[in-house]
Amino acid sequence: MTADKKLEKLKNAKKIGESRSPMQDAMREFRRSKIAVGGMIVVVFVAILAIFAPVFSPYGFEVQNLRNNRAKPMEGYDITETYAEEKCHWYETPLEWGCTVFIAGSDALGRDLFSRIVYGTRVSLAVALAAASVSLMIGLIYGTVSGYAGGNVDNLMMRLVDFLYAIPLLPIIILMTVYFNAVSRQGSESPLMIWLIGLDKAAGGLLFVFIAIGALNWLGMARLARGQVLSYKEKEFVEAARALGAENGHIIFKHLIPNVLGPLLIAESMAIPGYIFLEAVLSFIGLGVTPPTPSWGAMINEGYSGLRSNPHLVLFPGFALSTLTLAFNFMGDGLRDAFDTRLRGRN
């Protein structure tokens, strides 16, 4: 190395006062794991697909042409070259007879499967985001309050969690959904039901999926948050804050939540594949989204009766589902390794 280069390097070296936060450290660690970065790339890609679904999908998810039903992948129906050149503008005349090429084939109603898979990312990601943020919020607040209060309050709050854990929520959700769907078909007078139906429409028929997943998963988050708070509230820096005259709100928001949030976020990122899968399960048994909104679970359900003759109806949405859940899993693993400083042998 020449002297000039050395000088240059010295100039670029870290100046006093520049510093890496624990967050920056973690991100550096995260970037080292190829598989985690790969997972994140897939997740970001799927997110882009979801946001710009109309751009990426050749046709609308609800446009159907019964004459084109159950087309095989890459199959175009009746494309005669002259006809296609003169009359077909596929982006303008969706599913016009003789103009279509189905990249991933079409379903029983002649809807383009590829477009439906692209639109299906919206449902999966909406569920992932909504369920994660709902269970994080409830779990964080409930667990922090319980752990910080301690004593009898803690005991009572945690016994309630145990109680809810013991109830099989899925059958209750199923009953509620069936009832709700029946009422919403009939129409209702009660303001609560009207409000709920409105909310369900706004959520694209996913309201009960959100409720189900939120109700099932905040319990675990609350337990985790409580455990973390219990260990952090005995730390000396919390005692130092108390000695300085800090009030409970200050201690909770400045000292406890920032420290508890990390492990909770990691737990959420590991739980997201479960949420996506649960939505697929609910849709598979007919309790998820309302048709024609596409959901991967519902698409697999529709396709699996004809598995032998038209395997692509199950394979493509199944592939999409497993890719996304795997990607989230890898990303979650990477985040856990990056934030779990004990694995790095550092304080």
Minimum Å distance from CB 237 to other proteins?
4
From candidates 168, 187, 245, 345, binder to other proteins by CB under 8 A: 245
From candidates 169, 203, 246, 265, binder to other proteins by CB under 8 A: 246
- By C-beta, is 52 or 237 nearer to other proteins? 237
Query: How far, in whole angstroms, is CA 159 from its chain's centroid?
Result: 29
Binding mask 19-38 for other proteins (x = CB under 8 A): xxxx----------------
Amino acid at 311: P
What CA–CA distance (Å, rounded) separates 22 from 33? 17
CA distances 152 to 146, 222, 247, 313, Å, are 9, 17, 21, 55
Is residue 99 a contact partner of residue 184, using CB atoms and an 8 Å limit? no
Is residue 147 a contact partner of residue 222, using CB atoms and an 8 Å limit? no
Binding mask 142-181 for other proteins (x = CB under 8 A): -------------x--------------------------
Q: Which stretch binds other proteins (CB under 8 A): 18-26, 126-134, 192-200, 305-313?
A: 18-26
Q: Does 199 bind other proteins (CB under 8 A)?
A: no
Minimum Å distance from CB 234 to other proteins?
9
What CA–CA distance (Å, rounded) separates 318 from 41? 20
What CA–CA distance (Å, rounded) separates 82 from 93? 16
Q: Does 250 bind other proteins (CB under 8 A)?
A: yes
Q: Does 240 bind other proteins (CB under 8 A)?
A: yes
Phi, psi of 76 (to 5 degrees): -110, 135
Give the footprint of other proteins on this chain (CB under 8 A): 16-22, 155, 235-237, 239-247, 250, 254-255, 258-259, 346-347
